[in-house]
Structure 1
Amino acid sequence: MGNVDKRNRLSEEVFTYKKTKDNKVFIYWMGKQVTILAGKASDKFLKSIEGKDHLETQLIMAKLTGNFKRGNEKDGK
């Protein structure tokens, strides 16, 4: 995963997810909801992260959320 995460952001747990009772998956970036998976998409996601370590799970969520970040946003520090 060396070339994928050059700035080492995925080790900071920027993505989180929450599964609901009706099997929907809400994916969050820095505490803000960015996507909702339902039906087959949520099943596929949950199976894909099963048994994965932290960095692999972060990468899967980053790929699922798509191109909503372009790299030129400010951190707000």
Structure 2
Amino acid sequence: MGNVDKRKRLDEKVFSYQITKNNTVFIEYHGKQVMVVKGKEAEKIIKRIDEAATDKDIQLILAKVTGNFKRGNEKDPCKRAKG
């Protein structure tokens, strides 16, 4: 994985996923559903997850699929400012 996750955000396991019987992939970020993937795209994601060596690799796959962590300016939804 090398230099992809400089801030170690993916060590926190912020993403989770669920695969249904009909190969639909539900992706969650901090427990909130952010994406549903079906069809051929879902099959590609499932294959990549199955081939992943570590949990961190899975986190990176899910981050890339959802488009998070590409710009480096994402804010943690658990630490939002009040007011």
- Give TM-score scaled by structure 2 length: 0.78
Percent identity of paired positions between Structure 1 and Structure 2 = 51
CA gap of 1:69–1:34, structure 2 versus 1, over 3 A, is: farther
The structure richer in helix per residue is: 2
Comparing 62-71 with 17-26, greater Cα deviation is found at 62-71
Residues 22-61 of structure 1: pairs in structure 2 closer than 5 A: 22-52=22-52, 53-61=54-62
Q: Which runs of 5+ in 1 are unaligned?
A: none
CA gap of 1:72–1:41, structure 2 versus 1, over 3 A, is: closer
CA gap of 1:4–1:49, structure 2 versus 1, over 3 A, is: same
Q: Which runs of 5+ in 2 are unaligned?
A: none
CA gap of 1:34–1:68, structure 2 versus 1, over 3 A, is: farther
**Partners of 2:9 and 2:16 in 1: CA distance:** 13
Corresponding pairs, count = 77
- Corresponding residue for residue 65 of structure 1: 66
- Corresponding residue for residue 76 of structure 1: 79
**Partners of 2:69 and 2:10 in 1: CA distance:** 15
Runs of 4+ in 1 over 6 A off after TM superposition: none
CA-based RMSD = 2.2
